[in-house]
Structure 1
Amino acid sequence: MQTNNRSVDEVFSQIPSLDTNLVNDIIEQELQHFNPKIIVLDDDPTGVQTVHGISVYTDWSIESIDRGFKEDHSMFFILTNSRGFTSAETTKAHQEIAANIVAAAQINNREFIVISRGDSTLRGHYPLETEVLKDTIEAKSDIRFDGEILLPFFKEGGRFTIDNIHYVQYDNELIPAGETEFAKDRTFGYTSSHLGEWAEEKSNGKYQAEHMTYISLESLRAMNIELIEQQLLNVVDFNKVIVNAVDYTDVQIFTIALIKAINKGKQFMFRSAAALTKVIGGVSDKSLLTRDEMMSEDTDHGGLVIIGSHVQKTTEQFKELKKSSVIEFVEFNVHLVLEPVQFKNELNRVVETTNKLILRGKNVAVYTKRERLDLGEDRKEDELKLSVKISDAVTSIVKRLEVRPAYIIAKGGITSSDIGTNGLEVKRATVAGQIRPGIPVWTTGDESKFPGISYVIFPGNVGTNTDLREVVEMLSKK
């Protein structure tokens, strides 16, 4: 279905406003009667881009999940990084995660809900991941899921759902998601912008758009909580619930009705972007992080930026960063991966240069060669294997650092995940907050290579063109 681009100003001027203080009061009261532990499975590290003071675990052992259950906060994250997995790998991982969640819940005698946090531009292993979670949890417990909530709204990234169509904001224009570069993803591509039709497309027709439940902006803005609650109470057979939203207020009103339905016995699985986690987890607003908050110790060393993402937004931000005088650039020619000896020598050169520059107090941006390595349509598996080798090499740059940088920024979801878990060897981090809207910062745990360092997880497709340069320049001020 072809849909039209829309003007941001025109769309938002037509949507009725609400008393946000009233909505805040109601959601606050409703959350006091909501006691399950909220477990968010993050398919790359950028899903913590709306929260702060929350733990992120980088493995899904029973021990880690048990620690999460025992925390005072109602919510914790598990980083799966499954967007970088094959279908077989993500199936195995989600079977293990679901089994361990059920086991930890039984140890702690605690109810739980699982949120599968996916990309706000609709990429990822959907519906595979939530179906595996559903099947495994049902097989190992008495839980039976009535439906699945789809809520990809993410204000900070300019992702809005209006009249059931999901949009991506470019400047002052809303582009239907199915007509963006994200829909052309080689692994996770799709054609539909209408979320019901997208879910039908992704499920190969198992679930029909016409039979899904739609939570309209009209109902949300009319605060018709009873109607929305009744819609949720009527959902059966794991059917899909499409939630429209253009602001956090819409998510809050939906969550009020959702909690009422859950408290009446309904069970839902969730596939959402980062907005729902903030609301249902009761996470307060927090100002953007300052340099002083992020620099735990004085150092004469430079910072490190690693750029792996190749999406258009990253390319634009990288061009802007190159205009900055506070940073040195080191290109990593990853195309040499086809020549193992040359590739090893190239990696050694990059590591040695990076160490020297950081020690001399220079900020360093290591970037992978900007042209994609394309072996052709019929060699996608070979490309995937090479991309893993490249990712391992990029990660080893951090692993082999001999000096502690002032800060680390990783650009791109898979890049930041690999650096966090393998390069920095983080087992548990705390989300300090955001340095720009939608750009989260971890404070690494004591077990990591650099304990207590500020690690900026900069999504490939988030931020203005100047955000990366401005963040680097802010952190570089002495």
Structure 2
Amino acid sequence: MTSRISLVETLRDLPPEWPDNPLPWIRDNIASSGEKMAVVDDDPTGTQTIYGVAVLTDWSLDTIRSELESDLPAFFIVTNSRGMPPSEAGAVNKEVGRNLRIALDASDRKVAILSRGDSTLRGHYPGEVDALDQGLGGGFDARIFVPFFLEGGRYTINDVHYVSDGDWLTPAGDTEFARDTAFSYISSNLRQWVEEATGGEVPSGDVAAISLDDIRVGGPGRVASLVSELEGGRTCIVNAASMRDIEVATQGLMIAEAQGKKFLYRTAASMMRARLGQAAPALLTRDDLRLPNSGGALIVIGSHVPRTTGQLNELLAMPGIHGVEVNANSLVYDAVELEVARVAKTVNENLSQRRDVVVYTSRELLIGEGAEQNLMIGQKVSDGLVAIVDAIDVRPRYLISKGGMTTSNITTKSLGVRRAVALGQILPGIPTWQLGAESRFPGLVFVVFPGNVGDPGGLVDMVSKLAIPG
């Protein structure tokens, strides 16, 4: 039975937040040290809280060296490793780490390195973090684990990680996300989850924790004192129920780093905003994006989580939306070329007539024998969507892609994106990019809509917001 608790009552019963705003201190520290942030992102959705940063789909040594010299405060390396088998994900992260280390060895730039993972605890943990650690040359005093994500309603309280759904908090292990066919888990207590994820290699009793009392009563000094005691690569989880909590924890961690401690981070997206010292930006408007006043939009939906399906159903009921269903069975088992040709032809016809089109995979979940086969099925479906987008020759007014693996493969394989700029968020937790000049559609506004984010009307709200005036 799911042990839901009241969101309002739980937050009300917590100690008051730390009164002092850490952001000015964080910004001053960055300005004086020249620190840049490098994020190794396991799918393309990690820019969902920040703005004005580079997004790279290429992690060659030359690319990293060039980005270290750019004026932007951070860059995200999108590996799409969440959609890879464990061995491939590890190899990619080790390569990224090695290239970062070589580039940094030849630079005097100070860089904070974070591994961005899913706020609902799905992904290759600890494997890809182990590999990144190896590539970077090791020597970290601790791994700091922070899955809090305010925009998505993810809270960590008393070491238990929760997912909010309206007025309720549900332990993560009791949600649909814990039943993911590739990354299932049982534990909601993060200390126990680390033990589960590491197969017992890291016992829950060995996992350190920064509590909300430490953060809200002790402040940055208390956090700095606690993390300064960590050594030997020990795992430490951070509790958080607000952005102020994350900002206080970030200041404390940066104080400890200035005193010589070395941390490797595995975090969700909210930590990125705190680390850059950014306040919550205003949501982007249609005018901000300078969208053309003609043409049809393209929405591509590969995510199959229940939240996405509910959003899709509402979008399909919206007047003016033309839906094209892709038969996932055809993409996985047979008739791939015929299905790709059929869908692409229909989409091109609709876009040519300036209609908004949503391309979505059939909602029946295809399940294989074990996690690796399920990842393979997901990859084949994603490859089919890539082929469809590749065959679309009418430039859309804008493009929305829903689902991490779908988005990563479309950007790199269909659109040829090597660098984009994250402009900000069009809705809470939903980043918007402008594609680089090297892409198939230079300057295209590309909305990265995570599968596990948004309320039931999220897609409808977005399409309505971006609609042509009048």
TM-score range, shorter chain: over 0.9
Write out per-residue CA displacement over residues 35-57 of structure 1, whole angstroms, 9 at most, x where no aligned residue.
44321011011110001110000
Q: Does 1:212 align with 2:207?
A: yes
The Cα of 1:416 is off from its aligned counterpart by 1.0
Residue number among 405, 412, 421 corresponding to 2:403 in the alignment: 412
Residue number among 452, 460, 469 corresponding to 1:469 in the alignment: 460
Determine the structure 1 residue equivalent to 2:97: 98
Determine the structure 2 residue equivalent to 1:311: 305
The Cα of 1:403 is off from its aligned counterpart by 1.0
Q: How does the TM-score come out when normalised to structure 1?
A: 0.94
**DSSP-derived class of the 1:456 partner:** strand
Q: Does 1:86 align with 2:80?
A: no
Determine the structure 1 residue equivalent to 2:331: 337
Q: Does 1:326 align with 2:325?
A: no
The Cα of 1:384 is off from its aligned counterpart by 3.9
Determine the structure 1 residue equivalent to 2:354: 361
Determine the structure 2 residue equivalent to 1:398: 389
Is the CA contact (8 Å cut-off) linking 1:34 and 1:259 kept in structure 2?
Answer: no
Task: Single out whichever of 178-187 and 380-389 deviates more from structure 2.
Answer: 380-389
Alignment-mate amino acid for residue 355 of structure 1: N
The Cα of 1:19 is off from its aligned counterpart by 6.3
**DSSP-derived class of the 2:16 partner:** coil
The Cα of 1:85 is off from its aligned counterpart by 0.6
Distance in 1 between the 2:19 and 2:464 partners?
35
Is the CA contact (8 Å cut-off) linking 1:326 and 1:476 kept in structure 2?
Answer: no
Is the CA contact (8 Å cut-off) linking 2:83 and 2:375 kept in structure 1?
Answer: no
Is the CA contact (8 Å cut-off) linking 1:337 and 1:386 kept in structure 2?
Answer: no
Distance in 2 between the 1:286 and 1:438 partners?
11
Is the CA contact (8 Å cut-off) linking 2:26 and 2:276 kept in structure 1?
Answer: no
Alignment-mate amino acid for residue 67 of structure 1: S
The Cα of 1:24 is off from its aligned counterpart by 3.4
Q: Mapping of 1:148-227 within 5 angstroms?
A: 148-227=143-222
**DSSP-derived class of the 1:148 partner:** strand
**DSSP-derived class of the 1:432 partner:** strand
Task: Single out whichever of 12-21 and 72-81 deviates more from structure 2.
Answer: 12-21
The Cα of 1:220 is off from its aligned counterpart by 1.0
Indicate how the Cα distance of structure 1 residues 200 and 321 shifts in structure 2: closer, same or farther if over 3 A, else same.
same
The Cα of 1:152 is off from its aligned counterpart by 0.3
Is the CA contact (8 Å cut-off) linking 2:326 and 2:339 kept in structure 1?
Answer: yes
Determine the structure 2 residue equivalent to 1:51: 50
Is the CA contact (8 Å cut-off) linking 1:330 and 1:350 kept in structure 2?
Answer: yes
The Cα of 1:133 is off from its aligned counterpart by 1.4
Residue number among 275, 290, 293 corresponding to 2:288 in the alignment: 293
Indicate how the Cα distance of structure 1 residues 190 and 374 shifts in structure 2: closer, same or farther if over 3 A, else same.
closer
Indicate how the Cα distance of structure 1 residues 247 and 319 shifts in structure 2: closer, same or farther if over 3 A, else same.
same
Alignment-mate amino acid for residue 10 of structure 1: E
Q: Mapping of 1:11-22 within 5 angstroms?
A: 11-18=10-17, 22=21
Alignment-mate amino acid for residue 333 of structure 1: N
Is the CA contact (8 Å cut-off) linking 1:223 and 1:253 kept in structure 2?
Answer: no
The Cα of 1:96 is off from its aligned counterpart by 0.8
Number of matched pairs? 469
Q: Mapping of 1:412-451 within 5 angstroms?
A: 412-451=403-442
Determine the structure 2 residue equivalent to 1:259: 254
Task: Single out whichever of 101-110 and 301-310 deviates more from structure 2.
Answer: 101-110
Q: Does 1:457 align with 2:451?
A: no
Distance in 2 between the 1:61 and 1:358 partners?
36
The Cα of 1:75 is off from its aligned counterpart by 1.7
The Cα of 1:394 is off from its aligned counterpart by 0.4
Distance in 2 between the 1:161 and 1:318 partners?
29
Is the CA contact (8 Å cut-off) linking 1:213 and 1:231 kept in structure 2?
Answer: no
Query: What's the % identity of the aligned pairs?
Result: 39
The Cα of 1:108 is off from its aligned counterpart by 1.9
Determine the structure 2 residue equivalent to 1:39: 38
Determine the structure 2 residue equivalent to 1:63: 62
The Cα of 1:33 is off from its aligned counterpart by 4.6
Is the CA contact (8 Å cut-off) linking 2:21 and 2:244 kept in structure 1?
Answer: no
Distance in 2 between the 1:388 and 1:13 partners?
43
Distance in 2 between the 1:192 and 1:339 partners?
35
Distance in 2 between the 1:276 and 1:30 partners?
16
The Cα of 1:200 is off from its aligned counterpart by 1.3
Is the CA contact (8 Å cut-off) linking 1:363 and 1:476 kept in structure 2?
Answer: no
**DSSP-derived class of the 1:229 partner:** helix
